[in-house]
Structure formats: C-alpha cells, structure tokens
Amino acid sequence: MTAATQAAEFDILVIGGGINGCGIARDAVGRGYSVCLAEMNDLASGTSSWSTKLIHGGLRYLEHYEFRLVREALSERELLWANAPHIIRPLRFVLPHQKGLRPRWMLRLGLFLYDHLGGRKLLPATRTLNLANDPAGRPLKDGFGTGFEYSDCWVDDARLVVLNARDAADRGAQVHTRTEVVALEREGDIWRATLKDRESGATRSVTARLAVNAAGPWVDRVLKGALKRNDTHNVRLVQGSHIVVRKLFDHDRAYIFQNGDGRIVFAIPYEQDFTLIGTTDRDYEGDPADVAATEEEIVYLTEAASEYFRKPITRGDVVWTYSGVRPLFDDGASKAQEATRDYVLKLDEGGRRDGAALINIFGGKITTYRRLALSVLEMIEKALGAKGPDWTATALLPGGDFPTTGLADLEAALARDFAFLPRPLVARLARSYGTRARDLLAGATSIDDLGPHFGADLYGREVAYLMQHEWARRAEDVLWRRSKLGLRVSAEQAQALEAWMAGRLDTAAPAERNQGA
Ligand code: FAD
C-alpha cells in the first residue's frame, strides 16, 4: 500500500489542550469526525488558566475599532452563560469617571455601543452611578462623582477547558494529556505524528487526515520543532500578569479603572476572600512555560489600583501573582497593548490541494473560543467533507443542565440533600461541578464518607473524581486548575495530596486515564 492511499486512524489530530484545542475537538467529534487531542502538560496549563477570566466584549477594543471582534464576543456572553451556568456568571463592572482621562461623552458612547452591538437579553443594561452615595464609591478615594455600571460575565477559565475536553471525550474523542507532539510528517495525504508520553518518555505514532495546531503561544514552536519549518514569525507573545490581594471591598461588583497610560486595570472579586487585579501588556521572549510576573509589573498594578482605592495597596498585600502569554497574531502594531485580539486561521496544504492539511491558529480569546471552533470546522469541512451540522450554540457543557439563572436553586437542593456538608463547600461544588456534584457525592451520608482531608474543604472523594473524570494527575492540577484551593492549603497539605495522588495513579489503565473515562 502506498502512503497516499493509506487509511488514517483519525480524521483530525488536535495539538494543544487549551480552550481552543478542546473547543475544536468537542465541536469536531460532535459532528462525527474521529478526533485525537494531545496536550503536552495538563489541560489548561498554558494561557487558558492565566486569563482575567472574563467573558466579555472588550470595551477597550472599541477604541481600536475592533467592531467585528467586539460584536462577536458580546453575542457569545449569554450563549456561553446558558451553556455553562455553573462556571459562568454575570458580573457588573463599575467604571469611575476620572478627570483628565477619557471624557464622559466618550465613556457614554462606548457603553451605548457595548449595550447595543451584541445580543443582550438577560444581562442588565448600563446605568449611571453617583459614586458619592452608591456603595461602590465607598472603597474609592474621595472626589469620584460620576461612575458607569455595565454588564459582562465571569468564567472559571480552566474549568471551561476541562469541561470541553470532558464533553469531547464523552462523545468519543481521545484526549491524551502529558503527551507532546514531537514530530509531524506528511505521508502522502495523511499526517504521521509522533507522540511522546512526558511521564514515561515512551513514544508512539498516530495518523490523521488533518492536523490542527492549537498550541497557543507555542504555535510557532510546533511549526519549527515538530514540522522543521523555519519560515514562521506569525505570533506576537504578549505577557499579562495579575496580582491577588485580600478582599478590598464587600460588594459583588468589579471595577474597571482607567490608567494614565491609556490602559485599563480590573479589580475583581475573587474566590470569596480575595480581589484579583490585572493586567499588564509587555512583549515576551522565551519559553511561555517560564513566564512569571516581574517586580515591575507587580508594582505597576499596585500603583494603578492605589490611584483609585482609598486604602493604598502595597507590595506586602500581594498574596499571589500569576502570569500568562497571549499568543497574538503579529499584525505589526507598535505597542503590545494595541496588537489585535482577533484570531487568524491559516491553512497550510503543503503546496498541494490534495495534501494533508494543517490549520494553524493565532490569537483568539476565551470568550470567542466557540466561534473560533466554528470557523475552524468550516475549513475542516472543506478539506475532509462535511459530516454533521453545527451544534454547539445550544449544547450544554457537563454539569450545566439546569436553568441559566438557577445556580442558587441548585445549591439549595444540594444543601438539602447533603445536609452534612458545610454550606461553603456546597456552594463551591455547585459552582464547580453543577449537576455533576451529585455524581461526585453519590452515596455519601456523612463527612467521613468523603475520605481523607487535604486542607481547606478538599477531600479524597473530590480528588478521586478529578483523577477519574477530569484528567488530574498532580496536586497542582487539582489546586490551581480544577480549583483554586492552592490559595488556601499549606505546602505540607499540598505535599500530602501529591503523595496520595501518586499512590493512585496506577490504578487506572493508561488508555482509561488518557481518555479520562
Ligand atoms: P493555550 O491555553 O496556551 O493552549 C495551548 C496548549 O498547547 C498548551 O496547554 C500547551 O501545553 C499545548 N502545547 C503546546 N505545544 C504542544 C505540543 N507540541 N504538543 C502537545 N501540546 C502542546 N480572554 C478572554 O476571553 N477573557 C479574558 O479575560 C482574557 N484575559 C486574558 C488575560 C491574560 C493575562 C492573558 C495572557 C490572556 C487573556 N485572554 C482572555 C486570552 C485567552 O486567555 C487566550 O487567548 C486563550 O487562553 C488562548 O488559548 P489557546 O488554547 O490558544 O492557548
């Protein structure tokens, strides 16, 4: 048999288990394509867990005339909220008018467009605030008069990725974590990929009719490394950092502050007891895996927020920082903050119309991942032939099968049925797992049934669920991506968790663990 007539094991190989790779894998398998996804670390361990966690139109992008992006992003807000009402919720943003910066008329015009450009049915409209008497004015310095309040949504970014992977696997996709694509070669009209298990070092090969390079900030590295290409300078890596401090205010709204340099900084209620402040924009060189908030960025963020808050934020207030790298399409913009946030898809057919196709993804937002997947699927249909219709607009993500505004009811029902659970734990399980919290708790009638305690409100039962159904392998997967309990457990507790998980790794067969079955 010649290579050109060889049958491939999969229709599609997806490289990268961030939001884009998992969203594409889910959409494709749901249409009937056979899909293999390889992620070199943990799901969402790249940029997709280091975002500001907003499902937003991006008010600031209006200034750069990115109307297409803003309209598309705005219209995704309520759709995604309806599909995942456990991990996505509405959030109101308070924008204080600051004398000497953008004038009131400009803010009003921007917010008018924001209210009307994309579909908005459940999210409330913009309103004007008098910060002198509104509770949102209390934590702020004296002198702020007018403020504006508008709607966007908040998302647990890492869980959004994992739930897309879970749904893809439930529909038949193979999802392999800790598996790096180290080589990708065309053999006639199919791809032969070498996959390396990063834990054992073992390699194996798979074949696919089409490959999708969804490696985020590593997209050019995959082209250079796995494909041995040297003509790739498409991605502009832009670092963004956040700081986390103890809760700065008592209400549930977020702030969007204008900074003197034209940038904006968010201060967002975070994980009940904290406030998240971010972000920055600076060009980045080096391995995206090594990115960390610099001292300069930390100081910049404390100073920017201190311009607004009555009580200044000092370096000593910072309890945690995180940093991620935006894989932006390099459109030649001079400043990092001005580079387009829109996505660009590039089809590479290896110079032959009948050759195995490769789709490279540049840029994109968490917010627009579903729309990006739709565009990729259009390209896939052209290359491989159409299978099923597009279906993701109304498809609920795992655990999201309850009414869009029904999270409080779900929490109340769980509290009633599992009355032994402390209420904050019920709330966390409802917000993380939605209706699947019942699978996790099945049969438990007392706290002792939840197994060993690892600190905060983390028990063995939840960890075992995460290992069995959500590809968790290491303590950090549980503490920093499936949850943010890392903010609350000690180093000793994290070590005990690591040891407990290591002891259970071999209980699942490799194929089973890779598919998260
Ligand atoms: P990634 O999440 O990085 O996924 C790529 C994956 O590919 C990685 O997990 C990596 O390990 C894997 N990989 C790489 N090479 C290989 C290989 N050879 N084999 C196998 N796997 C490989 N967007 C919003 O909508 N809202 C926001 O509020 C927001 N805030 C942001 C704030 C910051 C500071 C940053 C940095 C970004 C923000 N974004 C936001 C943008 C958003 O986070 C990114 O656009 C998105 O996460 C990119 O996802 P991705 O899947 O393309 O990349």
Confidence category of residue 243, pLDDT binned at 50, 70, 90: very high
- Name the residue with the closest Cα to ligand 1, atom 12: 16
441 lines ligand 1 (CB under 6 A): no
Distance 327 CA to ligand 1 centre (A): 7
Q: Is the pLDDT of residue 102 over 90?
A: no
Note the pLDDT tens digit of each residue in 453-492.
999 999 999 999 999 999 999 999 999 999 999 999 999 9
At residue 512, the pLDDT reads 42
Please give the distance, rounded to the nearest whole angstrom, from the Cα atom of residue 292 to the centre of ligand 1: 15
CA distance 186 to 508: 34
CATH number of 3-46+159-234+341-394: 3.50.50.60
Q: How does pLDDT run across 149-178, given as a tens digit for each residue?
A: 999 999 999 999 999 999 999 999 999 999
Residues 329-372: tens digit of each pLDDT: 887 776 777 777 789 999 988 777 777 999 999 998 999 999 99
The Cα-based distances of 360 to 171, 223, 273 in angstroms read 24, 9, 40
Q: What is the pLDDT of residue 341?
A: 79
Ligand 1 pocket: which of 179, 204, 326 to mutate (most atoms within 8 A of CB) = 326
Mean pLDDT on 105-115: 90
Q: Which residue among 51, 176, 219, 241 has the greatest number of ligand 1 atoms within 8 angstroms of its CB, and so is best to mutate?
A: 51
pLDDT of residue 1: 37
pLDDT of residue 511: 42
Indicate which atom in ligand 1 lies nearest the CA of residue 215: 7
pLDDT of residue 415: 98
Q: What is the pLDDT of residue 508?
A: 53
pLDDT of res. 481: 98
Cis peptide leading into residue 52 (ω within 30°): no
| Residue 467 φ then ψ, to 5° | -70, -40
Which segments of the chain belong to CATH 3.30.9.10? Answer: 90-154+236-329
279 C-beta closer than 6 A to ligand 1 = yes
- Over residues 131-147, the mean pLDDT reads 96
In the chain, pLDDT over 70 holds for what percent of residues? 96
Please state the CATH superfamily assignment of the domain spanning residues 407-506 in this structure. Answer: Alpha-glycerophosphate oxidase, cap domain (1.10.8.870)
Structure tokens that stand for 125 in this block:
């409209």
Q: Where in the chain is the domain with CATH 3.50.50.60?
A: 3-46+159-234+341-394
What mean pLDDT comes out for the span 422-443?
A: 98
CATH of domain 90-154+236-329: 3.30.9.10
pLDDT in tens, 303-332: 999 999 999 999 999 999 999 999 998 877
Q: How far is CA 104 from CA 76, 97, 98, 113, in A?
A: 28, 7, 9, 14
Residue nearest to atom 22 of ligand 1 (CA): 16
Please determine, for residue 413, whether its predicted confidence score (pLDDT) is greater than 70. yes
Instruction: State how far the Cα of 209 lies from the Cα of 125, in Å rounded to an integer.
Output: 47
Counting ligand 1 atoms within 8 A of each CB, the residue from 36, 218, 294, 360 with the most, and so the one to mutate, is 218
Whether the model pTM is above 0.75: yes
pLDDT at 351: 74
Six-digit token pair at 216? Answer: 């985020």
CA distance 52 to 358: 30
Mean pLDDT along residues 129-141: 96
pLDDT digits (tens, 9 = 90+) for 252-296: 999 999 998 889 999 999 999 999 999 999 999 999 999 999 999
pLDDT at 81 exceeding the cut of 60: yes
Count CA atoms closer than 13 A to 516's CA, side-chain side: 28
Q: How far apart are CA 441 and CA 244, in angstroms?
A: 31
Report whether pLDDT(428) > 70: yes
Quick one: pLDDT at residue 2? Answer: 39
